[in-house]
Structure 1
Amino acid sequence: MSIDKQEIEQLINKQIATVERKIKSLKELTQAIAPDDAIGRVSRMDAINNKSVNEAALRQSETKLQKLHEALERINDDDFGVCVQCHGPIQPGRIVLMPESRKCMKCAK
């Protein structure tokens, strides 16, 4: 099975839009937690913990977005879909699921 670069490009663009929406939502969730007398100590600790989790998710999403943009830039390169480690083909299913991946499943382990 060969890869259709036009389909992969559409898929990448859809993933970019999804990740951008997620980043926007996460940025709202990671706003500073203002000291508020109405919030209890435990609730405030929960809010701070949730903020930390959301900040980690935000960093991860921003990294994925960057990699998706990089994949989009190199989609027409001759080596797109070729593993950077073993130089063999990256499995089409992996490209569909993770178009930003630069390694085949074997080398990614």
Structure 2
Amino acid sequence: MPAPDLEVYRAEIHQRLEELKVEDARGKDAQKTVELDQQAVGRLSRMDALQNQAMAKAQATRRAAQRQRLMAALARIESDEFGYCSDCGEDLEPARLSVDPTIPRCMSCTRG
């Protein structure tokens, strides 16, 4: 893959990592332990708070998985393996990489 293209992908990956960092900071409060205070919060409000906490934790898990995929893509760029299928070695389709630069496999290998 030409060097200028790699720089575009590298910049996009770094931008996405920064966005994840901002989202992590926003989601920290939502993941805190829900306190049991029957004087201040009713049963339904507590249940709602617990549900919000669970959703925040699930979002954090998804962000962590996305961060891993982005870091793996950066590693592939650094080792000159980016843009090639990790299974068969064929070139990855540029249209797919432009949508998601973390894609490690071609369509043929993905389909099986």
TM-score normalised to the size of structure 1? 0.85
**Root mean square deviation of aligned Cα:** 2.1
1:78 positional shift: 2.9
Unaligned 5+ segments in structure 2 are none
Aligned residue pairs total 109
Q: Which has the higher helix share?
A: 2
**Structure with more contact order per residue of length (Cα contacts < 8 Å, sep ≥ 6):** 1
What residue is the counterpart of 1:4 in the other structure?
5
1:57 paired with 2:59, answer yes
Corresponding residue to 1:42 among 12, 34, 44: 44
- Counterpart secondary structure, 2:104: coil
Deviations 1:45-101 (A, max 9, x none): 011011111101101101211221222122133321111123222222322222222
* Correspondence for 2:84: 82
Provide structure 1 residue ranges, at least 5 long, that are not aligned to the other structure.
none
- Which structure: larger Rg? 2
Alpha-carbon contact 1:83-1:102 (below 8 Å) kept: yes
1:86-97 equivalences under 5 Å are 86-97=88-99
Q: Which runs of 4+ in 1 moved over 6 A?
A: none
Whole-angstrom distance in 1 between the partners of 2:76 and 2:18: 18
> What SS does the aligned partner of 1:70 have?
helix
Aligned-residue offset at 1:106: 4.2
> Normalised by the size of structure 2, how large is the TM-score?
0.83
Counterpart for residue 18 of structure 1: 19
Alignment partners' CA distance in 2, 1:24 and 1:106: 38
Q: Is the 8 A contact 1:33 1:47 kept in 2?
A: yes
Helix, strand or coil for the counterpart of 2:28? Answer: helix
